[in-house]
Amino acid sequence: MDYTYEYESGEDAYETVNPASPSGRIGRYAIMASDELGAAIERANAAHRDLAAETKDILTASANAMRLGPGLEADSDLGPLCNLPHWTDVCAKTERAISEGAKALAGGFAPNRPDDGYYYRPTILGDLQHESIAGQEEIFGPVLSVLEYDTFDQAMKMLNGTEFGLTSALFSNRNDLIQRFLAESQNGMMHVNHGTVPDNNVPIGGIKNSGVGAFSVGPTAANFYTSEHSAYVAW
Of the chain, the percentage scoring pLDDT greater than 90 comes to: 26
Whether 173 is covered by a domain: the verdict is: yes
Whether residue 99 is contained in a domain is answered as yes
Residues of the domain holding 97: 2-201
Measured CA to CA, the distance from residue 235 to residue 37 in angstroms comes to 51
pTM above 0.85, yes or no: no
CATH number for the domain that contains residue 179: 3.40.309.10
Query: How many structural domains is the chain composed of?
Result: 1
* Choice among 8-22, 80-94, 158-172, 196-210 with the minimum mean pLDDT: 8-22
**Residue 170 above 90 pLDDT?**
no
Within-domain flag for 57: yes
- Amino acid, res. 23: S
Instruction: Identify the three-state secondary structure at position 198.
Output: coil
* Interatomic CA distance for residues 204 and 214, integer angstroms: 9
Question: Is 230 among the domain residues?
Answer: no
Whether 184 is covered by a domain: the verdict is: yes
Residue 222 is assigned to a structural domain of this protein: no
178: in domain: yes
- When pLDDT is cut at 50, 70 and 90, the band that residue 128 belongs to is confident
- CB-CB contact of 40 with 22 (8 Å): no
Any idea what DSSP says for residue 204?
B
- Could you tell me if residue 14 is inside a domain? yes
Percentage of the chain exceeding pLDDT 70:
78
How many CB atoms lie under 10 A from the CB of residue 116? Answer: 10
What is residue 208's predicted lDDT score, i.e. its pLDDT? 87
User: 111, 117, 107, 114: which is closest to 30 by C-alpha?
Assistant: 107
